[in-house]
Amino acid sequence: EFFFPALPPLLFPTYFHCHTFYIAYTKKYWADLAWMLTFYIRFFYTYGSLLETKTLNSLISLHRMLESSWFVWVSQMNHIPMDIDYDKNLDWVSTQLLATCNVEQSLFNDWFTGHLNFQIEH
């Protein structure tokens, strides 16, 4: 009931984004952490003279929320497997081919998913 309004917009900003920084810091991946921080340095340097800090943070958050919703919808569209109890004795490849499904083709859907709507081929 609360999955679609709450989790898709918050997946990237709260989990992936913060968790990536957390892992880089705790595992002492200093070079990776420095490269990640260069994005924010460049972003604030480029847009800092045009917008206030509060507006820039809101812009980053909005971008991450839209990106997160897109990612969840695209990845979940064809990764939810169908029920295939009768195929339990098949090998992995055959099971995957039977369980995945292609999503209806349309110009918007092809563009929106980056052609990932063809799950079997992807």
Given a cut of 60, whether residue 122 has pLDDT beyond it is no
Q: If phi over 0 gives left and psi between -120 and 50 gives alpha, with beta otherwise, what is residue 80?
A: beta
Given a cut of 60, whether residue 121 has pLDDT beyond it is no
In percent, the amount of the chain with pLDDT more than 70 equals 68
| Tokens coding 79 | 């990764």
Q: Are 9 and 62 in contact (CB under 8 A)?
A: no
Question: What pLDDT score was predicted for residue 23?
Answer: 92
Q: Averaged over 41-51, what is the pLDDT? A: 87
Q: What mean pLDDT is reported for the chain?
A: 77
Query: Residue 65 and residue 9: Cα distance in Å, rounded?
Result: 4
Contacts of 38-44 with C-beta under 8 Å, sequence gap 24+, read none
